[in-house]
Chain A
Amino acid sequence: MDIHALQQIVHKTRDARRKQTFPKFNPADRDQLIHKYHPDFRASAYRPIRFGPNEGDKTVIELATLLEGDSSIQDGAELTPHHRTDVLVIGGGGAGCAAALHAHGAGAKVILATKLRLADSNSVMAQGGMQISVAPEDSPVTHFLDTLKGGHMQNDHELLKVMVEEGPSIAKWLISLGVLFDRQADGNLHVKKGGGSSKPRLLTCSDYTGLEIMRVLKDEVLNQKIQLLEFSAAIELLSDDEGRCTGAIFKDLDNHQHVVVAAKTVILATGGIGRLHIQGFPTSNHYGATGDGLCLSYRMGAKLAHIDTFQYHPSGAVYPEQLIGALVTEGIRSEGGHLVNAKGDRFVNELDTRDVVSSSIIRECEEGRGIRTMSGRVGVWLDTPLLDAEHGPGTVEKHFPAMMLQFERFGIDISKDPVLIYPTLHYQNGGVKIDTNSETNVKNLFVAGEASGGLHGRNRLMGNSLLDLMVFGKRSGLTAASRAASMKQGALTLKHLQRYRAEAKQHGNVSGVISPMILPAYTRKVS
């Protein structure tokens, strides 16, 4: 049977499904479902980390191997700086740009280094929106409680309170820079409801929210003439005699030379880990999402939090083959799109949290109610044409132009035909532990955005990442700038690396890989 024949069940059952309401799981059932089907609970995928600040903690094998990896920098490497700066930002996505702009605005000299181009990141792909409690019936406290519930009560309360309270002023800042959020007829910000949220709270720029924010922030970084080091991958941090962070060594990916930057403060905004393809999952992440910041800060002695939990976004494309792993925005479900199994039945409340929805999709597929493609992949249907049926023809095209175009390129009209989806590795819930100023336990080392941990607990709510980037990008930038203004540049040494190597030796040595990974090894070895 071809794809069109298989899709018929979705069309046939649509009217009946429209009349149903599907309840959310009660807490006990929800926990049971997650423990049985969520990839975070697949014990064989995990092992304890052998040494370092998180010795004994379990994480996925792919990440443990990198954390225990060796540096490419040898003792005695040349450390004469090529550049000196107050604030060194590593990473050019949302958090990096926000950090650089705020540090620059506070009067600091800033260098922003990134291994790809400025703004190449996951941020640019964020489609669903940004959660900020602006609606009259909403409040920062409700945003706090929703997020806590979504994060399985494991979120750091202080970080979370800061994020939800600073949200509205972030929206104001972005608007002042020219970000075009969707509006209501009365000029107020339009809010959409996101999975796991009790109130409509998502600010959107159609389904280009991340792209719109990043176009503006990148342009602003250029307008402010912030010094850039593009195609420069951080390969080691630098420390002084007291273990404080004092700079970084980069590899220029164009000429393979090392570039040493002396910095009074360092902000790591290196993003996530999707390209490690944990447990063999496809990913929605960008090319450079290889967890570099985790490895770098771990060797410096920074403690990590919640690194045993990852977000598998419920709706990664399964078909066509070219789009495997690519994200089908949660916005579709926010607007009422149903998830439908091979029998034509709904099986979960589509607006439950991402971990619950992903787990239930995996359950359907493992129990034989999935739809299998000829390449052996399995998925369930996301009923996109339902949106046009429900809200009038043209809805999908108007609200999801990015997604329409993405599938149209492969001859698929998602306003007429449902799409096949399966969870895709999307987000690292945890990361380097930070305080409310985004600083780690290593002095003068800040981490902002996806690379940081604690804020989202064990499951991030849709729309909270864009806000996280902006709030903690800003906080790290401001704190780093004011710190730098009242201190001298520290010595540039590799003492942390000597300590790390000594510790590795005690525990039977490093894992045998060089970390950070920088870019995934997709190039085929041609013999």
Chain B
Amino acid sequence: MRLTLTPHEGTMAQEDTNIIDQPEVLTHRMVTIEISGKQYEVPEGITVVKAMWYAGQEVVRGIGCLGGFCGACATYYRTKDDPKVRTCLACQTAVQDGMSFTMMPPFPARKALYDIQTLKDPKQDLFNLYPEAPLCRNCNACTEACPQKIDVREGVWKAVFGDFQNVSEMFMDCVMCGMCTPVCIADIAPNLVALYVSRAQGAHFTEKPAGLDQRIKEIQDGRFNDDWSKVLAMNEKELAEHCATVK
């Protein structure tokens, strides 16, 4: 979705040279879009979420962080004359003329329940918790549905083959929007599988940081007590001076 930054005539008359052309903002060109099948005129280039507000819609479900991290605003959209239905995060995508979109309703995927800390054999447990995971039929629809560009299908296979580390790295970008789930013909919820795998990787297959335990012990043993009594006994002025010496 590249924005074209064409220089606009008439805007060059500004005295300031420190100006960025943003004709799509300045001119407020209106475009026609469809929200859940209904037509609206909205300013070109605003985000999909803002287009809903502009159209007068109250949005409660379907908005969260507005920063592209929470996955609440998973949306299906299609651009003019293109049969391909794509996915996006509504807060991170600009509308364009002829665009048609609808927000994804919450999907009733099954999340397995587990106690991550007491798992005995996390790689084997995957098959008890998510027995559908090995049934992937390689259709690749999940990968195509991912607005974060994660190779989801590959991730599911790697999970099944026990490469938990790789999965946890691949899914660090996952915002849990769940768009990989409704498209799965094997009823896998890949994001939930990956979340389990990542947590297991962190809790069971990652080295315990020795320095951290050392620091916890130092605090328990009172290694910093002298420093504390010195600092806490200072008056305001002394403390300010002391802070200034910390470099």
Question: Interface residue count for B (Cβ, 8 Å)?
Answer: 87
- Let me know if B246 and A146 touch, CB within 8 A: yes
Contact of B172 among A119, A135, A212 (CB under 8 A): A212
Q: How far in angstroms is the closest Cβ of chain B from A92? A: 10
Residue from the set A2, A319, A371, A525 with the largest chain B CB neighbour count within 10 Å? A2
Chain B 61-97 interface residues, beta-carbon cutoff 8 Å to A:
61, 63-70, 72, 92-94
Write out the residue numbers on chain B whose beta carbons fall within 8 Å of the beta carbon of A187: 207-210
Write out the residue numbers on chain B whose beta carbons fall within 8 Å of the beta carbon of A253: 60
Q: Check: B26 CB closer than 8 A to any chain A CB.
A: yes
Q: Check: A198 CB closer than 8 A to any chain B CB.
A: yes
- Let me know if A183 and B56 touch, CB within 8 A: no
Q: How far in angstroms is the closest Cβ of chain A from B38? A: 13
Write out the residue numbers on chain B whose beta carbons fall within 8 Å of the beta carbon of A401: 172-173
Q: Check: A272 CB closer than 8 A to any chain B CB.
A: no
Write out the residue numbers on chain A whose beta carbons fall within 8 Å of the beta carbon of B59: 523
Chain B 134-175 interface residues, beta-carbon cutoff 8 Å to A:
148-149, 168, 172-175
Write out the residue numbers on chain A whose beta carbons fall within 8 Å of the beta carbon of B29: none
Q: Check: A157 CB closer than 8 A to any chain B CB.
A: yes
Query: What CA separation (Å) do A120 and B56 show in the bound complex?
Result: 23
- Let me know if B116 and A177 touch, CB within 8 A: yes
- Let me know if A145 and B65 touch, CB within 8 A: no
- Let me know if B1 and A411 touch, CB within 8 A: yes
- Let me know if A121 and B65 touch, CB within 8 A: yes
- Let me know if B116 and A133 touch, CB within 8 A: no
Proximity string of chain B (189-204) to chain A, C-beta cutoff 8 Å, 1 when within and 0 when not: 0000001001111110
- Let me know if A519 and B60 touch, CB within 8 A: yes
What residues of chain A have their CB less than 8 Å away from a CB belonging to chain B? 1-4, 6, 27, 116-117, 119-122, 124-125, 133-136, 139-142, 144-146, 148-149, 153, 157, 161, 165, 168-169, 171-172, 175-180, 183, 187-189, 198, 205-206, 208, 210-212, 215-216, 219-220, 222-223, 225, 231, 253-254, 284, 286-287, 319-322, 326-327, 342, 370-375, 401-402, 405-406, 409-411, 420, 519, 522-526
Name 7 A/B residue pairs within 8 A (Cβ), A-sorted. A3-B5, A145-B243, A161-B228, A175-B212, A211-B175, A286-B66, A372-B20
What residues of chain B have their CB less than 8 Å away from a CB belonging to chain A? 1-3, 5, 7, 11, 16-26, 45-47, 50, 53-61, 63-70, 72, 92-94, 111, 113-117, 148-149, 168, 172-176, 195, 198-203, 206-213, 215-216, 219, 224, 227-228, 231-232, 236, 239-240, 242-244, 246-247
Given contacts A120-B64, A188-B212, A525-B56, 6 further A-B contacts (CB under 8 A): A178-B201, A188-B209, A222-B113, A254-B60, A254-B61, A373-B19
